[in-house]
Amino acid sequence: MENVLEIEGLSKSLGDFRLHEVSFALPRGYVMGFIGPNGAGKTTTIKLVMNLMRRDSGEIRVFGLDNRRYEKEIKQRIGFVYDESHFYGELSILDNRRIAASFYRDWDEKVFQQRLRDFDLPAHKKVKDLSRGMRTKFGLALALSHGADFLIMDEPTSGLDPVFRSELMDILRQLMMEENKSVLFSTHITTDLERVADYICFINQGRIVLCQSKDEILQGHVLVKGALDLLTPEAERLFIGLRKNQYGFEGLSADPRRVRQVLGDRVLAELPSLDDIMIYNVRGHQSV
């Protein structure tokens, strides 16, 4: 399978923060959700992919090409949506579009006009008067109007309401009808990803914790609830993270089969959400 993005051993120190030897790949034609708590290294990784920051070490290839050597070619084929305000607030949508369009060889005005209609964007309104959701949609309209094959979005849904977020997911699903499109999408709101993402990459404190297909990740974990007296030291070791209170415990395990052998039907075993997986990995063992 051909990869649209390959990252190998990527490291970067920024003050107290360090990105440690990050490696992962995204096959062409799929959506990858890049998740982790705030400050985990998502934006740093994306900035390094976009070559907006200097790395300490490591390799990044986009469309199989080194992202520094072939930066210009690569960026013609990437649609990039990032957190807010890279627009000129005093200018209208159309004037902002004129500036952005001038950077792209394959700018397609017809497609852009169609996106404006699809996304209900007011062409003559000043960007500073747009709501946050509209600005994100405008960013997406720009990113999707120059024939990009790879869409990279940094936290496109943060601060947006559920209705807008579901609209954005519909746009992504429509985009993925084309086999050669790929999406890398960072977020800390994992519910957005539970349905649309093919792959999930989970980063915490600058290190990749998990990077697999979403189905493998969800089925490879189990959320267990039960009475406290079942938690022998042997049982406790099954869990990545545990929460206990006087009425019982809840914990996440990455070994559903062992959980079944050791605890059987004395506990309630549920399919975890991506949030559960993220929270228990980050918080680990603690009593509440």
Partner 1 sequence: MNIVISNRSDEPIYNQIYQQLRAAIVREELAAGEPLPSIRSLARDLQVSVITTKRAYDELERDGYIETVAGKGSFVAPQNAELLREKRVNLIEEKLVTVIHEARTLGLSLPELQRIVELLYEEVL
Binding interface with partner 1 (CB under 8 A): 29-31, 169, 173-174, 176-179, 194-199, 213-215, 219, 270-271
Closest CA relative to residue 88, chosen from 160, 153, 138, 19? 138
Strand order in the sheet with 285-287: 268-270, 222-226, 248-253, 239-245, 285-287
First to last CA, the chain: 45
- Distance in Å, CB of 170 to partner 1, minimum: 9
- Distance in Å, CB of 176 to partner 1, minimum: 6
Q: Of 24 and 30, which has the nearer Cβ to partner 1?
A: 30
- Distance in Å, CB of 180 to partner 1, minimum: 11
d(Cα 150, Cα 183) in Å, to the nearest integer? 6
Q: Of 74 and 183, which has the nearer Cβ to partner 1?
A: 183
d(Cα 85, Cα 88) in Å, to the nearest integer? 8
Q: Of 68 and 173, which has the nearer Cβ to partner 1?
A: 173
- Distance in Å, CB of 107 to partner 1, minimum: 26
d(Cα 20, Cα 45) in Å, to the nearest integer? 11
- DSSP letters of 82-138? -SS--S-TTSBHHHHHHHHHTT-TT--HHHHHHHHHHTT--TTSBGGGS-HHHHHHH
Q: Are 199 and 33 in contact (CB under 8 A)?
A: yes
Q: Of 29 and 122, which has the nearer Cβ to partner 1?
A: 29
The owner of tokens 């849904």 is 157
Q: Of 82 and 119, which has the nearer Cβ to partner 1?
A: 119
Q: Of 61 and 181, which has the nearer Cβ to partner 1?
A: 181
Q: Are 259 and 270 in contact (CB under 8 A)?
A: no
**Residues with Cβ < 8 Å from 64, sequence gap 6 or more?**
2, 3, 6
Q: Of 100 and 222, which has the nearer Cβ to partner 1?
A: 222
- Distance in Å, CB of 144 to partner 1, minimum: 16
